[in-house]
Structure formats: structure tokens, C-alpha cells
């Protein structure tokens, strides 16, 4: 056993292993129970009968044996109420073996963490929904966004995301229903923007404009925008395995803009105007899928993340007065 | 008696555990308690004169940190895709899961249940979503673990598809 001396093996068996209440089953390839032992009662496995079909005695084994893979591991299995087992199944010498260890305490720890993660996720969703639908725009502006409803000049970071190949022909799903594809993009991107402290300003065609710095935060807006951008690129990369054409082109600019609430129809909408916005939208139009371009103002505020960016002259834009640009190079 | 393994799969907090509790024990709790790992339950039923033991695998929900191990589905006779009707993104998770399940265990009967149908004011599933399911020729039903609406029918429909 891993070249451990016998006294250590004995010690481990009499402490670590014993404290986890092991139990085992030995099952023939025909599904007959050949032997059992250990603390089977603890897992609600008894009464067990030798030479009878095991799946008729232990419900969860129905359909699992004989094993199709060399081994299988179930970290947390609740067979008996309040008792959680860690189960290992493996094949040796043409027979299947099932080993049980008590994992009740370990499970409790996992449940605590997972519960928090899921609760936060649900809360985040509720908040996003509330912001968008149920709160009066002026209340949002005064209490949630750090802006004067009448308008003001502010240093903000703009992130423009173009969802590429929406109507592309190489991916059947997207060609059939571009709106559904855009909806998929939006649902993926929106939580990532919100997570990093941004807000979705507007959606124009297949481009999304997000603003950072309007929501009070201890982090600087450019850093938030870059963190969101990297997560969006990662998400697109993961999505690419199932939808090869799914890619985004991102542009981030930082600068002083005029921000406020504008009466549109019967409601008010957040308005952001200024050169950084014009530059971001213009650059994004000519950006290539899978790229992230940032301006110098953003680059100068990045600290250690600057190393991921290289100066670039390629923008494809004919816009006059473009700032120095940098392109993201994943290392 | 025939043993049939049925797996409950879906995004997190869609109500898989609640649906099983409602079906097997006839109970419901409003408190959301996440499932880590797998819970096994059993229900004996009779379908068209045939006795069946349904072995229910209530598998933890899929999220960005906890991916469902497809090996859990080995030996399944059928599965239930659970969608939270008040969270449209859980339908997309169901689409993705169905593809992965079919890659692992092949084509076996399955049914999609849109849970939380009692929360009509927060309902996010539209006609176009149901139309898509119809185009895919998926069997689906509306249900509520809270009220019990459609739960038994869902399991019975699936059992009928199995035999």
C-alpha cells in the first residue's frame, strides 16, 4: 500500500478507515450477491441474502451492475434518511465490488457551501429582475446608481459587446432563429456584467452596451469592465464547443461622459453620451470576433492586468481622433 | 416485480427534490434545501396491470460549480427533465442536459416538467418555448410540487412510455 510500512497501514485501518464505518458487497457478473461485510446496517442495507440478486435487495444498484466502466464513484449518496454514504464501485477478478464509507459530516459541509452559492445565485437573479422591471427609474438613479437624475458629467467605463454570427449560416440553430441566439447571448452575458458591478445600458441590434462606474463600488470601473470582459470571452469559449460560431467582439473605453435620465415616451431611460461612448461603439462595429480592444485610458488604470494587453494599430475604423489602442492577448 | 431506474435532472433549484417528495410521500416544504450528491427513493405503482418499482434518483442540480456526472444515469430506464417555469434559463440547461444524457445512455423515454406552475405571475415560459419542445417532439407537462398539480400525471405518463 503506497510503500507504507505495515504499522502505518494497521494504524490507518484502525483509525481513519474504521471511523468511516466501511461496508462492502461482492457481486457476481450475473448480479448475485456473493458476500458482504462491515457496517451494512448503518446504510440500511440489511437484511441481505447471499446468492440472491443484489438489485432486488438494494434499490440503487438496479441497472448499475454489472459495471460498464472499470470504476464508478458516488461521493454523496443518501439511501437511508440522514445517513450519507460515499460509494465506490469497481470490478476486480471478474466480480463487482461495492464499498461504502460514511460521508455524512463531509456532506453537511458541502451542503452549507452549495446552499450559499445557490441562494446567492437566486438572489442575484431577483435583483437583476427588480432593477429592470419593478423600480421607478428615478429611484434607481438616486439610490442604486450613483448619478443625479438631472444629469452630470462622470468618469465611466463603457463596454460594448457585439454578438457575432447571430445570423451566420455555419451554425444551424443560429440561422434558424437569430432572436433565440441573441437571447442566449444576453442571458449569458448579463449576469457576468452584473457580477462585476456593471449595468446593461442598452441593447442595439446584436450589440450590448454596458456601463461601469455608475453603481457605487470599491473597485475602479476599468478593472470591473476588464474582469467582466474576460469572463465573457471565457463563457463564449466554453459555448464554442457546442456552437462553433458563437463569439463576441468586445471594446472597452474609459472617459468622462454625460450621464442622466432622459424622458422617453411615458418612462425615463438612462442616457450616456460622450466621446468614449462614440469611440467604443465605432470600434466595435469593425472588431473581429473573439477580440477585446481597450483604449489607453482603460489600459493606464489596469495595474497587473496590463501584461495581458499589447499595443495595436489595427482597428479597422476610419474614425478621426482615435486614442491609442491595446489588444487582449490571452497567455 | 420490474425495477425501473428513473433519474431527475435539471438546473439547480428547479424543484427536483420537491417533486419526488410530493410524488412519493405527498409532502411539500417551501424551504429551499439544496441537494448535494444523490438521493434515492422508491415508489411502487401499477401500470396497465403491471407492477413496477420506480427507483428514483434525485440528482443534484446543475450549476456552474456542480456538474452532473453522467455516470449516475447508467442503467436508467427513463429520466425527467425538470424546468423551473419562473426561470427561463433553466429550459436552456434542460436542452443541454438532454443532449449529454442521450450521448451517455442513448435514447430512453423522458418527460419535461415545467415546475412551479402555481406561480403564474412570475411565469417566464412562452408559447414559442413550448412550440420548440413540440418541434423536438418532446413530451412535456406543467406541474407544481407545491400544489401537487400535474405531478402524479407526469410520473404516470413517463411510466407508460417505459412499458
Q: In this complex, do B61 and A125 lie within 8 Å of one another by their Cβ atoms?
A: no
What pLDDT is stored for residue B58 in this prediction? 97
Question: What DSSP assignment string belongs to A229-251?
Answer: HHHHHHHHHHHHTTSTT--EEEE
The upper half-sphere exposure of residue A120, i.e. CA atoms within 13 Å in the direction of its Cβ, equals 11
* Residue B58 near residue B16 (C-beta atoms within 8 A): yes
Q: A49, A78, A102: which is the final residue of a domain?
A: A102
* Residue A193 near residue A199 (C-beta atoms within 8 A): yes
Average pLDDT over residues A147-175: 72
Task: Mark A8-42 as b/e (b = at least 16 C-beta within 10 Å).
Answer: eeeeeeeeeeeebbbbebbbbeebebeebebbbeb
**Same structural domain for residues A42 and A156?**
no
Mutation site, A54, A69, A75, A78, interface B, largest B CB count within 10 A: A78
Torsion A248-A253-A258-A259 (CA) sign: positive
Q: In this complex, do A117 and B65 lie within 8 Å of one another by their Cβ atoms?
A: yes
Selecting from A69, A76, A125 the residue whose C-beta is nearest the C-beta of B38 gives A76
**Same structural domain for residues A74 and A30?**
yes
* Residue A76 near residue A107 (C-beta atoms within 8 A): yes
Q: A83, A102, A121: which is the final residue of a domain?
A: A102
**Same structural domain for residues A59 and A177?**
no
What pLDDT is stored for residue A246 in this prediction? 64
- Print pLDDT tens along chain B (163 aa): 789 999 999 999 999 999 999 999 999 988 888 999 999 999 999 998 999 999 999 999 988 777 899 999 999 999 999 999 999 889 999 999 999 999 999 999 999 999 999 998 889 999 999 999 999 999 999 999 999 999 999 999 999 999 8
Question: Which range marks the domain in which residue A169 is found?
Answer: 136-328
The answer as to whether A321 is a domain residue is yes
* Residue B72 near residue A89 (C-beta atoms within 8 A): no
Tell me if residue B59 falls in helix, strand or coil.
Answer: strand
What pLDDT is stored for residue A239 in this prediction? 66
- Taking contacts as CB-CB distances below 8 angstroms, the residues of chain B near A60 are 38, 40, 55, 57
Judged by average pLDDT, the poorest of A36-45, A98-107, A193-202, B80-89 is A193-202
What A302-307 contacts at long range (C-beta under 8 Å, 24+ apart), as own/partner pairs, is: A302/A222, A302/A223, A302/A226, A303/A223, A305/A223, A305/A226, A307/A331
**Same structural domain for residues A164 and A296?**
yes
The residue among A282, A216, A280 whose CA lies nearest residue A254 is A280
CATH class in words for B2-162:
alpha beta
Between A and B, how many residue pairs show a Cβ–Cβ distance under 8 A?
83
- Measured between CA atoms, how close is B159 to chain A, in angstroms? 16
CATH number at residue A281: 3.30.70.1230
* Residue A197 near residue A212 (C-beta atoms within 8 A): yes
- Taking contacts as CB-CB distances below 8 angstroms, the residues of chain B near A189 are none
Q: C-alpha grid cell for residue A15?
A: 483509525
In the DSSP assignment, the letter for residue A149 is T
Pairing of strands B2-10, A292-295: unpaired
**Same structural domain for residues A192 and A49?**
no
What pLDDT is stored for residue A170 in this prediction? 43
The chain B residue lying nearest A183, using CA atoms, is: B89
pLDDT tens sequence across A200-224: 887 777 888 999 988 777 889 999 9
**Same structural domain for residues A63 and A140?**
no
Report the percentage of chain A scoring pLDDT > 70.
Answer: 81
Question: What DSSP assignment string belongs to B81-149?
Answer: EEEETT-THHHHHHHHHHHHHHHHH-S--EEEEEE-TT-GGG----HHHHHHHHHTT--EEE--TTT-T
- Measured between CA atoms, how close is A65 to chain B, in angstroms? 8
The answer as to whether A115 is a domain residue is no
Alpha carbons B60 and B83: distance in angstroms, whole number: 14
Number of domains within chain A:
2
**Same structural domain for residues A98 and A140?**
no
What pLDDT is stored for residue A267 in this prediction? 55
Query: Any idea which residue has 457575432 for its cell?
Result: A164
- Taking contacts as CB-CB distances below 8 angstroms, the residues of chain A near B60 are 114
The answer as to whether A19 is a domain residue is yes
pLDDT tens sequence across A58-81: 999 998 999 988 899 999 999 878
The answer as to whether A108 is a domain residue is no
Q: In this complex, do A62 and B3 lie within 8 Å of one another by their Cβ atoms?
A: yes
**Same structural domain for residues A231 and A312?**
yes
Tell me if residue A65 falls in helix, strand or coil.
Answer: coil
Q: Please report the ipTM that was assigned to this predicted complex.
A: 0.92
- Measured between CA atoms, how close is A100 to chain B, in angstroms? 14
The answer as to whether A245 is a domain residue is yes
What pLDDT is stored for residue A299 in this prediction? 94
Q: A77, A102, A127: which is the final residue of a domain?
A: A102
The answer as to whether A313 is a domain residue is yes
**Same structural domain for residues A285 and A161?**
yes
**Same structural domain for residues A223 and A309?**
yes
pLDDT tens sequence across A108-147: 988 988 888 888 888 777 766 666 554 455 555 555 566 6
Q: In this complex, do B34 and A78 lie within 8 Å of one another by their Cβ atoms?
A: no
- Taking contacts as CB-CB distances below 8 angstroms, the residues of chain B near A76 are 36-38
Model confidence pTM above 0.80: no
Selecting from A63, A84, A187 the residue whose C-beta is nearest the C-beta of B37 gives A84
CATH number at residue A77: 3.30.450.20
Contacts of residue A62, defined as CB under 8 A and 6 or more positions apart, other chains included, come to: A55, B3, B4, B5, B53, B55, B75
Instruction: Kindly indicate the confidence band of residue A91, based on its pLDDT and cuts at 50, 70 and 90.
Output: very high
The answer as to whether A10 is a domain residue is yes
The chain B residue lying nearest A107, using CA atoms, is: B36
pLDDT beyond 70 at A54: yes
Q: In this complex, do B40 and A121 lie within 8 Å of one another by their Cβ atoms?
A: no
What pLDDT is stored for residue A169 in this prediction? 37
Selecting from A56, A111, A121 the residue whose C-beta is nearest the C-beta of B36 gives A111
Alpha carbons B146 and B77: distance in angstroms, whole number: 27
**Same structural domain for residues A51 and A157?**
no
**Same structural domain for residues A237 and A145?**
yes
Q: Chain B residues contacting A, CB < 8 Å? A: 3-5, 12-13, 32-34, 36-40, 42, 53, 55, 57, 60-61, 63, 65-66, 71-72, 74-77, 87-89, 92, 96, 99
- Measured between CA atoms, how close is A214 to chain B, in angstroms? 27
The answer as to whether A192 is a domain residue is yes
Amino acid at each position: 500500500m503506497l510503500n507504507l510500512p505495515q504499522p502505518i497501514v494497521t494504524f490507518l485501518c484502525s483509525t481513519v478507515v474504521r471511523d468511516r464505518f466501511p461496508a462492502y458487497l461482492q457481486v457476481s457478473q450475473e448480479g448475485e450477491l456473493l458476500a458482504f461485510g462491515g457496517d451494512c446496517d448503518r446504510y440500511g442495507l440489511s437484511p441481505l441474502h447471499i446468492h440472491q440478486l443484489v438489485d432486488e435487495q438494494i434499490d440503487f444498484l438496479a441497472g448499475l451492475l454489472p459495471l460498464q466502466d472499470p470504476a464508478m464513484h458516488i461521493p454523496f449518496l443518501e439511501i437511508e434518511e440522514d445517513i450519507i454514504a460515499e460509494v465506490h464501485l469497481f470490478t476486480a477478478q471478474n466480480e463487482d465490488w461495492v464499498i461504502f464509507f460514511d460521508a455524512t459530516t463531509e456532506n453537511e459541509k458541502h451542503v452549507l457551501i452549495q446552499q450559499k452559492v445557490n441562494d446567492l445565485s437566486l438572489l442575484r437573479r431577483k435583483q437583476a429582475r427588480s432593477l429592470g422591471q419593478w423600480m421607478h427609474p428615478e429611484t434607481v438613479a438616486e439610490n442604486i446608481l450613483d448619478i443625479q437624475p438631472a444629469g452630470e458629467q462622470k468618469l465611466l467605463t463603457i463596454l460594448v459587446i457585439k454578438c457575432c454570427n447571430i445570423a451566420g449560416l455555419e451554425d444551424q440553430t443560429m440561422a434558424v432563429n437569430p432572436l433565440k441566439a441573441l437571447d442566449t447571448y444576453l442571458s449569458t452575458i448579463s449576469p457576468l456584467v452584473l457580477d462585476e458591478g456593471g449595468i446593461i445600458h442598452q441593447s442595439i441590434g446584436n450589440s450590448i452596451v454596458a456601463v461601469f462606474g455608475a453603481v457605487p463600488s470599491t473597485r475602479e470601473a476599468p478593472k470591473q469592465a476588464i474582469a467582466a470582459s474576460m469572463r465573457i470571452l471565457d463563457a463564449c469559449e466554453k459555448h464554442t464547443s457546442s456552437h462553433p460560431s458563437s463569439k463576441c467582439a468586445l471594446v472597452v473605453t474609459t472617459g468622462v461622459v454625460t450621464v442622466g435620465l432622459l424622458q422617453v415616451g411615458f418612462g425615463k431611460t438612462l442616457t450616456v453620451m460622450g466621446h468614449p461612448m462614440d469611440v467604443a461603439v465605432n470600434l466595435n462595429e469593425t472588431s473581429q470576433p473573439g477580440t477585446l480592444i481597450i483604449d489607453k485610458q482603460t489600459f493606464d488604470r489596469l495595474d497587473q492586468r496590463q501584461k495581458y494587453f499589447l499595443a495595436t494599430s489595427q482597428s479597422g475604423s476610419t474614425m478621426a481622433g482615435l486614442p491609442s489602442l491595446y489588444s487582449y492577448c490571452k497567455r | 416485480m420490474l425495477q425501473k431506474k428513473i433519474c431527475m435532472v435539471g438546473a439547480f433549484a428547479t424543484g427536483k427534490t420537491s417533486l419526488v417528495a410530493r410524488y412519493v410521500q405527498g409532502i411539500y416544504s417551501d424551504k429551499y434545501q439544496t441537494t448535494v450528491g444523490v438521493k434515492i427513493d422508491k415508489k411502487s405503482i401499477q401500470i396497465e396491470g403491471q407492477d413496477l418499482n420506480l427507483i428514483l434518483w434525485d440528482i443534484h442540480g446543475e450549476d456552474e460549480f456542480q456538474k452532473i456526472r453522467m455516470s449516475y444515469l447508467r442503467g436508467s430506464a427513463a429520466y425527467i427533465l425538470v424546468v423551473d417555469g419562473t426561470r427561463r434559463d433553466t429550459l436552456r440547461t434542460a436542452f443541454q442536459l438532454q443532449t449529454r444524457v442521450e450521448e451517455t445512455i442513448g435514447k430512453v423515454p423522458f418527460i419535461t416538467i415545467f415546475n412551479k406552475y402555481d406561480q403564474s405571475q412570475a411565469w417566464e415560459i412562452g408559447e414559442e418555448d413550448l412550440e420548440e419542445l413540440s418541434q423536438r417532439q418532446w413530451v412535456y407537462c406543467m406541474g407544481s410540487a407545491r400544489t401537487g398539480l400535474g405531478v402524479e400525471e407526469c410520473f404516470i405518463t413517463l411510466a407508460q412510455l417505459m412499458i
